[in-house]
Structure 1
Amino acid sequence: MPHDMTLEQFFSRLWDDYTAMTPQASRIHDALVADGETIVNDHVAFRTFDRGPICLADLEPHLLALGYTPLEPYDFDAKKLRAWGYLPPREDQPRVFLSELKCSELSAPAREIIDELVAQIDPARIASPEVMWAGRLWEAPTWEAYRTLAEESEYAAWLSIIGLRANHFTISVNHLRRHDTLEKLLAKVESLGLSINASGGRIKGSPEVLLEQASTLADRMPFTFSGGRVEEIPTCYYEFARRYPDADGRLYQGFVAASADRIFESTDARPGHAD
């Protein structure tokens, strides 16, 4: 694995891929910069399957090589996910949230679809950190296969067509001057004509749990499925986070599972539809 990629290069490439999938992120970013704000990325999140050569443990070495340290694990029973949070080498750099789908908890037909996708992966592609924005490492599934996955896991369906890439960047509200609360920031975002993920409330979390989060609903783009059918699919979204100091006066560094559970729904094909 090339160790010559700096964290700045890594996130620059990641941002380019992400904004190509998520035009709203560039619009929000540019509108805030035009307001005189400095944008600091609180964290970036990735999704993967716990299968083949792309499970969490296979991707983690890229983060460790960039200087990240594992913070703590999280479990999302209802969504059949497990995840780890990672802390950056320096406090002004983004945290990372890496989740994987517990495929064994899906039905046999869904597992078969995922195994067929994962079997197509060239293991050599996992050797480079560029795998983190490689997109699909397999041929597009059929629309029927996508729908089968979506019935059981919106996350699985999303991953089957979108592939490996950042599913969201996150603006640190702590670093904003004019839009220094989530309410002000969401009002700004909505003034651009963009929609907010209201699952579990517009603002998830609270000062009591030391973290408040909100997010847009994902952009949508047409994708061509195997067999030629074209459908509009949710791509990626922009998140906003405000952290609060703990009893020792240090800003909370982790993630709140109950809030993240709802943030995942920003990419649901049917927002507000319970899995």
Structure 2
Amino acid sequence: MSPDEFFDALWKDYVAMAPQAARIREEFESRGEQVVNDHVAFRTLGLEPIGIERLEPHILALGYKQLEPYEFPAKKLRAFGYVSEEPNAPRIFLSELKVDELSSKSAAILKECAAWVDSSELAEPEVLWSGRLWDPISWDDYQTLVAESEYAAWVATLGLRPNHFTISVNNLQKTTEVEGVLQVVESLGLAVNDSGGRVKGSPEQLLEQGSTMADKMEVEFADDQTHEVPTCYYEFAKRYPDKDGNLFQGFVATSADKIFESTDTKKS
């Protein structure tokens, strides 16, 4: 599978979960802008057979290399960034939940999900947009997870798929600041994630980011209940050159920590 085929397949799955992204992209294109993807991100559980180490080979096979690790102690997450050897290729961000740091009740729910997964389903890159590989959890279990980890509830409900794409503000010609992009988003009647400020990061940190709040959709749970839950969101990133004049390629953990909250049920 070529990188173009990979990202095209991801986009189709993503916009089905986040139709707002198509609206935002179309709005900027209607203004004469070229919309370029800065990065795409995935969430998973730190459990066999779906942990980072099992998903990462599909990313490396596309010509990517692993950057430095990131830790999010408050959210019990670890992550890696990946950059391609091809110029202008989107970056990739892959995170996982440290399930064993959760309460025994929440951990048991997630371990039951992972136990459903046949490791053979991890053999092809399509697993990264396969969705839920286990039976639906109950609404009660969803509430248990949300109370402890919004991230856990998201993965248990929606499975393996991109949780966001990102517009590269560097490639926009008319709206050249993250705040300006957020104002365009709000003009479409869409909500912005203001956790930690509307614009997270700074030029000094070499990265500024903002995002929408996630779209929502009806999901069927195991007990014949259907409820609306947050799905995916659109992010916007502006990168700055380092002291050597090279554009920053990584991520800023303190900013990413707040971007994660774009899917929080309490805010969306």
* C-alpha separation in 1, matches of 2:14 and 2:26: 15
Q: What CA deviation, in whole Å up to 9, does each residue of 1:84-143 have, x standing for no partner?
A: 000012121100000000001001111110111110012111000000000000011000
Which residue is equivalent to 2:126?
130
Residue identity opposite 1:266 in structure 2: S
Any conservation in 1 of the 2:179–2:198 contact (CA below 8 Å)? no
* C-alpha separation in 1, matches of 2:163 and 2:186: 20
* C-alpha separation in 1, matches of 2:54 and 2:165: 22
Which residue is equivalent to 2:182?
186
Which residue is equivalent to 1:24?
20
Aligned positions, number? 268
* 2:234 pairs with 1:242: no
Which residue is equivalent to 1:98?
94
* C-alpha separation in 1, matches of 2:88 and 2:248: 14
* 2:30 pairs with 1:38: no
Which residue is equivalent to 1:72?
68
Residue identity opposite 1:16 in structure 2: K
How far 1:260 moved relative to its partner?
0.1
Residue identity opposite 1:215 in structure 2: S
Q: What CA deviation, in whole Å up to 9, does each residue of 1:161-191 have, x standing for no partner?
A: 0110000000000000011111211111111
Any conservation in 1 of the 2:163–2:231 contact (CA below 8 Å)? yes
Q: What CA deviation, in whole Å up to 9, does each residue of 1:12-52 have, x standing for no partner?
A: 00000000000000000011111111111000000000102
Which residue is equivalent to 1:167?
163
* C-alpha separation in 1, matches of 2:240 and 2:48: 38
Residue identity opposite 2:242 in structure 1: D
Alignment of 1:1-275 (within 5 A): 5-271=1-267
What is the alpha-carbon root mean square deviation over aligned residues? 0.8
Task: Name the SS for the 2:214 alignment partner.
Answer: coil
Task: Name the SS for the 1:52 alignment partner.
Answer: coil
Q: What CA deviation, in whole Å up to 9, does each residue of 1:168-215 have, x standing for no partner?
A: 000000000011111211111111110100000000000010000000
How far 1:151 moved relative to its partner?
1.1
* C-alpha separation in 2, matches of 1:231 and 1:60: 32
* C-alpha separation in 2, matches of 1:187 and 1:222: 28
Residue identity opposite 1:50 in structure 2: G
Q: Percent identity at matched positions?
A: 57
Residue identity opposite 2:168 in structure 1: S
Residue identity opposite 2:220 in structure 1: T
Any conservation in 1 of the 2:208–2:237 contact (CA below 8 Å)? yes
* C-alpha separation in 2, matches of 1:136 and 1:169: 19
Q: Which segments of 5 or more consecutive residues in structure 1 lack a partner in the other structure?
A: none
* C-alpha separation in 2, matches of 1:151 and 1:266: 16
The normalised TM-score by structure 2 is 0.99
* C-alpha separation in 2, matches of 1:65 and 1:167: 21
* C-alpha separation in 2, matches of 1:124 and 1:116: 18
Residue identity opposite 2:57 in structure 1: P
Residue identity opposite 2:235 in structure 1: E
Q: Which segments of 5 or more consecutive residues in structure 2 lack a partner in the other structure?
A: none
Residue identity opposite 1:53 in structure 2: P
